[in-house]
Amino acid sequence: MAEIASSSTQSVTSDKINRRQRNAGPDSGRNRRMMANIQASLGGKVTQPTVKRNIPNKPVDSTFKSVEEMLAKLKLANDDVDISVSDIRPYLIDNAGEFSQEDFENIAESFCNSALIFMNIHFIVELCIILIKHKNFQSAMSEKLDELISNYILNRESNLDAIPAFMANLLTAKWPRPYNRAIVESNNILVSIISAIMGWIMVINENLLKIEDNTSEKEDLSKNKDNIDPIEQLEMISRCGKALCELCNTGQRGLWMSFPTLLDDIFEAIKSLIISELHISKSLRQSLLQVYVSIFKWTASNTKSMVSVSSQTLTKPF
């Protein structure tokens, strides 16, 4: 009996080996292809073998010999080349203390150009956080922002349409604790941005008062007391109102959490524009109404902001 059991076990084992050898033969591939064709013709799911490829990780070159090389690397991000903050951070941390004022001015110009022209806003904000402890950088960046914000409002330069979004992202950035206050001793960039926003609010409020005074005195708006062209006056108010809307739609709840008093002032200016009798465009009045309603949502509890990946800016939560 033992011999019979042993022989039967050997025969079963040899059958398995022979079956494996047949399956591993040249016909096995043809058989699998045939089965795949049959499954495909019957509408079944065809499973294809996955081929694993070992792709070596390309080392990141984060060593630069000069500021010019670093800025050249930064320009690659403008050409849709995959550049991360980690590629530039080591050089900035190790060498920023030796940068001259001219170096910081060139950096500020490159930062603003990348953020506003090529919409690399979040990327540039992270780099600003790295350099914020350097007063010369604060000075260069705030001066450049003052220039660009002024051109955006006064000269209506279309290539600066992302200014409000850039400002909002800088306001709501996670600045390190010594540099998170809007005072000159802490963060001059925040001071410049808030000063510009308060300027927009002042333009709206003062011009509304002037228009109300002229109307109450029944004067011809084309010949007001200050000799201001009413069309130009309306355009200035509209540009400031539009800028406030875009700023709020980008900052959302983060703007209120960081600067609640500023958002209160914006809210009052927007409300004044909505209830005014100015002949502002329908699209602007609609934007003002949307922001007016949204502010109540942003200041409520359990409200989250929504991020738009395509535009790299925050979007309205409705």
For residue 61, which phi and psi values (nearest 5 degrees)?
Answer: -90, 100
pLDDT in tens, 68-118: 999 998 888 777 677 889 999 999 999 999 999 999 999 999 999 999 999
Q: Given this model, what pLDDT does residue 143 score?
A: 97
Q: Return the pLDDT at 266.
A: 97
pTM exceeds 0.85 for this model: no
pLDDT digits (tens, 9 = 90+) for 171-211: 999 999 999 999 999 999 999 999 999 999 999 999 988 87
